Structure 1
Amino acid sequence: MIRVLIADDDALVRLGLADLLDGDDGMEVVAQAADGLEAVELATAHRIDVALVDVRMPRMDGIAATARLRALPHPPGVITLTTFDLDEYVYSALAAGADGFLLKDTDPAEILRAVHLVAAGSAMLHPSAARRVIDRYHRSGRDRATAARSRLDRLTPRERDVLALLAQGLTNADIAGRLHMRESTVKAHVSRILTALDVTNRVQAALLARDADLTP
């Protein structure tokens, strides 16, 4: 059972998400927060597998809350909820450790899929918005690109292949299909990639790959 925390200052949004998630037999909404600080407090008190976190909230915004959630001894996966007019905040949330983000008008089935993916250790970046946001707000300078390429030099050629596809938002199963590998082998490669690059999750690895202009 995936234990979920919903953090949003809009009571109607919380209610709608809770109804959606509780309708999935594999999920349980165990806590709801009206602001970022309350979200951190609840995640500290309860075992949370995945947190859905709004960007703009009182007392503590979603970016700060994400960093605090990811710093917990048993950190939950974090999915940031946003709208297109908040694009400039999304990269900061991902850099803080979010495993991905969804637009608030995302199809309900995709929201459920995202929670399952993040709970399983994958990432969920809204396909079109991900590229738009990262390309717009994460343009690499020469020094940053040089540093990123230096870190990618730690990887084997096969790990670079995996990382290039991971940076496109593909799941382990998708990568396995593209590279004709077992999914368990891809999972092992991803684990080594995160360790070698000294990053905490797939999203940060993807951002580093984009800094280095890594292409499949």
Structure 2
Amino acid sequence: MAVVKIYGDGLPTTASTTMFTGKTDKTCIIKSIILCNVNSVDTTVTMVLNSSPMHYLIYAKPMKANQTLVIPISDIVISPGETIRMWCSAPYVNARVTAEERDGAPLALGLNSFRVSMPASSTPTTMVPALSYSRLVKSLVLCNVTGTAQTVTIRFGWSGDNCNLINKYTISANDTVLIPFADMIITPNEFIEGWCSASGAVHAHIVMQVVT
């Protein structure tokens, strides 16, 4: 395992520039994202994984003039060949992204990564399927990709309100939140399901570690 800088520079103002591509036979695990708006005007920052489909980690996040933000994203897994793009709406925002780099693909390292554009429904939709072995939740990141507040409900284990550990949780417009559920166990045949208040309004990123 090595600690590496995967980006450390000013951000472009267009969405077309790839800032990082996962290396062959390597797994990249994001540990830290720090942003600094060095301009005298407000701006926004967006960060997206891949292009088809796109999975947003940051979506039009407002930044005031001269503001520094530590983005609450930790343990997000980037597989070989996956891409990261990041940009701002007005120059200039400096970004520094630090990660762990491990030999091998995520599955070989016992890592399961799930990315879901959450549905809008009181009928829960499976976000993480049941499997025959136990897993630890290492990271749960939620990104609101709309300009209005949204609510999220997520169940862990089984269906039914008795399994709600996130219940109508409000995420502000264009906000990204890290839910501190690190090392919560999901036992064999348990699953994770949920929904948000508007279809596709929240992108969920869940990383799990296989328990052996």
TM-score (norm 2): 0.32
Which of the two has greater helix per residue?
1
**Larger RCO (alpha carbons 8 Å, 6+ apart):** 2
TM-score (norm 1): 0.31
